[in-house]
Amino acid sequence: MLSPTSESASTVTFLSVSALFVHQIFRKFETFSIPFHAFLLLVPPAIVSHTVRPTNAGRLTVSELAFCYTTYLGVLALSIVFYRLSPFHPLHQYPGPRWCRTSMLWHIIRTVDGKQTEYLRYLHDTYGDVVRIGPNHLSVRDLSLINPILGPSGIPRAATYKGVTLSDSTVPLIGIQDATEHARRRRPWNRGLAPSALKDYDHIMSHRVHQLVDVLGQQEGAVVLGKWISYFAYMHDGDEGNIWAMVDKGAQIAFHLGQVPWLGIYVGHIPGAGGPLNLLLEHGRALTKTRVARGSSTRDLFYYLNNEDIPEESPPPERHLLDDGVLAMIAGSDTSSSAITSVFHCLLAHPAAYAVLQDEVDRFYPRGEDVCDAMHHREMHYLTAVINETLRLFPPVPTSNPRQVPHTAPAPVVLGPRSLVLPPGTLVYVPPYVLHRDGRNFARPHQQKPHQALSKQLPDSLVLLKGPEATSPVTQEPPGKCTFADAAPDVFWPERWLVAAGHMPLGRALSLSQAQFELAHAEGAFVPFSHGPMNCAGKALALRQMRVVVCALLQQFHFRASTATTQSHRNLWQSFAMPQITTPEARCDPVL
């Protein structure tokens, strides 16, 4: 230990001053560069310990060194915590719990106990529409701010993926912050995932759907549906090497650490910790390389990503293609399988809605009819309603991809009608789960003014079909009057979408007092695929996949919830955020 003299006092002073100075550097240059971190964390105490002590003091002992590092890192940590709690922090005026202000590490706990989305919702219910959920992090639940944040003139993506590259030297599309560069890299995706291109993928989808139907048909007893649906979404002709299980493991780590990106960068370098995820990346790259080497025999997504549809344009660099290949696999597989699994979760929990949908499928796609032919999809209003309602209650990306005001911004950004002030460096979340379950957006508020009063389109006296309890097709007479609770934001009630689209007349009156209500249905708050120019590129494909798979399975099987509904397989991202969704374990009896 340094002797308790003026020497040690001056060492402590120097260490403290350098820690405070380094804190300012960290504030100014948020970076995920490990050498940068290492330099700022390790070098100053080493320099101070050598320079401050007298030249005749002999060799530095281990305990002296430990004292220097502990003092330096302790002061740095205290400085960070005090600053984040202090009125000098630019986000000080935003409400939120104190512990959240100090670090995003608290959110890891919420992902581990699987209650992240419910916690976010609780924070909004407690603190209001704009909550400070982290040191530099705001969560926004205000419909009027969705477009200003995510729209064309919104703020750029967060640097979450900075330093995380799928290939050796690029940032994947989903990590590009610069709007112009993003728009350039996004163009081939838009061409390849445009509704006009999708019909060329039908044969691929048809092949996979038949695989899924065959494999389910071969299962004995109760089946963990989510597991097979995940395989459907991911599988490229089999799952040699049990890749999906590896991905499952790797994704768990990645999801928890995704709350604190800099920590994720470190863990990624620990042998074993990033292993399963790295395996997925390598697998994706290998598939992409094989596909690029093979060339195009059909117009698949790579036909567009490789600019083969525009011969006069040169192909993109191989590393972009590798990134794109991996992104297509990751972005498109777990999300879609989560969504399809959730549909079955909802149907099995609501037999009446299941019956109505089964009736619709039987009408449009009786056995023998090709479910991959999308010609009837537009007319299948109840199917659309079920899918929307499922995505509303269980959005596969429930907490959103954050946006961030650049650190280099010359002044705070002021957004929207309520003049939300976002200082440089602020990260903003617009969580779909919270927006979708906000009673002002999707329910029947008594007092509050809904964002978009549906009653304008509806007759004065209202009767709503009892969605979940309905036993007959939606076109028939309503089986009973609904209660207020039926339309509550947490209730699975596909009929709200039919009413909103004008497909379901609201016919007869409830009692006079109940007829006064206005049904809130703010579709602008429905953002499972996000919003704006950086929204999900695969939205049309995802919806088509969902429709085809749901029709195929309902055409071929009767599903019954097994008595032992378990969590033996859960979809990746969703399960951490939303524990209430269990992958249904079901019996699928073939339709004879």
- Minimal distance, residue 131 CB to ligand HEM, in Å: 20
Annotated binding site for heme: 536
d(CA 404, CA 427): 4
Q: How far is the CB of 294 from ligand HEM (least distance, A)?
A: 19
Binding to ligand HEM by CB under 6 A, coded x per residue (else -) over 169-198, reads ----xx-----------x--x---------
| Beta carbon of residue 284, minimum distance to ligand HEM (angstroms, whole number) | 12
Q: How many CB atoms lie within 10 A of CB 472?
A: 14
Secondary structure of 194-235 in HEC code, one letter for each residue: CHHHHHHHHHHHHHHHHHHHHHHHHCCCCEEHHHHHHHHHHC
Instruction: Tell me the closest approach of the beta carbon of residue 46 to ligand HEM, in angstroms.
Output: 41
Q: Which of 541, 543, 480 is nearest to 328 (CA)?
A: 541
Q: Is 335 one of the binding residues for ligand HEM (CB under 6 A)?
A: yes
Q: Does 296 bind ligand HEM (CB under 6 A)?
A: no
Are 227 and 583 in contact by the 8 Å Cβ rule? The answer is yes
Question: Minimum distance between the CB of residue 276 and ligand HEM, rounded to whole angstroms?
Answer: 21
For residue 413, the minimal CB distance to ligand HEM (Å) is 17
Ranges within 396-455 binding ligand HEM (CB under 6 A): 396-397, 401
* Residue list, annotated binding site: 536
Q: Which is nearer to ligand HEM, 536 or 550 (CB)?
A: 536
Half-sphere exposure of residue 472, counting CA atoms within 13 Å on the CB side?
Answer: 7
Closer residue to ligand HEM (CB): 174 or 487 = 174
Q: Would the CA dihedral through 97, 102, 107, 113 be positive or negative? A: negative
Which contacts qualify for 181-188: CB closer than 8 Å, 24 or more apart? 182/157, 182/533, 182/534, 183/533, 185/320, 186/533, 186/534, 186/537, 188/304, 188/305, 188/306, 188/307, 188/316, 188/324
Distance, in Å, from the CA atom of 283 to the CA atom of 405, rounded to the nearest integer, reads: 34
Stretch of 131-139, 334-342, 350-358, 443-451 lying at the interface with ligand HEM (CB under 6 A) = 334-342
With CB atoms as reference, the residue minimizing the distance to ligand HEM is 538
Q: Please count the residues of this chain forming the interface with ligand HEM, following the rule CB under 6 A.
A: 24
Tell me the window of 15-23, 89-97, 495-503, 532-540 that interacts with ligand HEM (CB under 6 A): 532-540
- Is 337 near ligand HEM (CB under 6 A)? no
**Looking at the DSSP assignment, which residues form a beta bridge with residue 585?**
224
How many Cα atoms sit within 13 Å of 556 on the Cβ side?
19
373 touches 470 (CB < 8 A)? no
In the complex, the smallest distance separating the C-beta of residue 153 from ligand HEM, rounded to whole angstroms, is: 15
Interface pick for ligand HEM out of 224, 528, 573, 588 (rule CB under 6 A): 528
Question: How many CB atoms are closer than 10 A to CB 237?
Answer: 8
* Contact in structure between 321 and 171 (CB atoms under 8 Å): no
Q: What are phi and psi of 5, to 5 degrees?
A: -125, -170
Beta-strand relationship, 442-443 and 403-404: unpaired
Comparison of 175 and 450: residue with beta carbon closer to ligand HEM = 175
By CB under 6 A, residue 339 contacts ligand HEM: yes
Stretch of 241-249, 279-287, 325-333, 498-506 lying at the interface with ligand HEM (CB under 6 A): 325-333
Select the residue interacting with ligand HEM from 177, 230, 288, 336 (CB under 6 A). 336
Q: In 52-182, which ranges are E strands? A: 130-134, 137-140
Residues 6+ apart with CB under 8 A from 446: 517
List Cα–Cα distances, 588 to 208, 214, 215, 216, in angstroms: 18, 12, 11, 7
- DSSP bridge partners of 520: 443, 453
Stretch that binds ligand HEM, among 369-377, 462-470, 524-532, 560-568 (CB under 6 A): 524-532
Sole binder of ligand HEM in the list 138, 537, 549, 551 (CB under 6 A): 537
Return the number of the residue (401 or 583) whose C-beta is nearest ligand HEM.
Answer: 401
Minimum CB distance to ligand HEM, residue 251 (Å): 15
Stretch that binds ligand HEM, among 7-15, 102-110, 253-261, 523-531 (CB under 6 A): 523-531
Q: Which is nearer to ligand HEM, 465 or 541 (CB)?
A: 541
What whole-number distance in Å separates Cα of residue 110 and Cα of residue 112?
Answer: 5
Question: Does position 327 bind ligand HEM by CB under 6 A?
Answer: yes
- Contact between 458 and ligand HEM per CB under 6 A: no
Which region among 358-366, 451-459, 486-494, 537-545 touches ligand HEM (by CB under 6 A)? 537-545
Q: Which residues bind ligand HEM (CB under 6 A)?
A: 173-174, 186, 189, 327-328, 331-332, 335-336, 339, 396-397, 401, 528-530, 534-538, 541-542
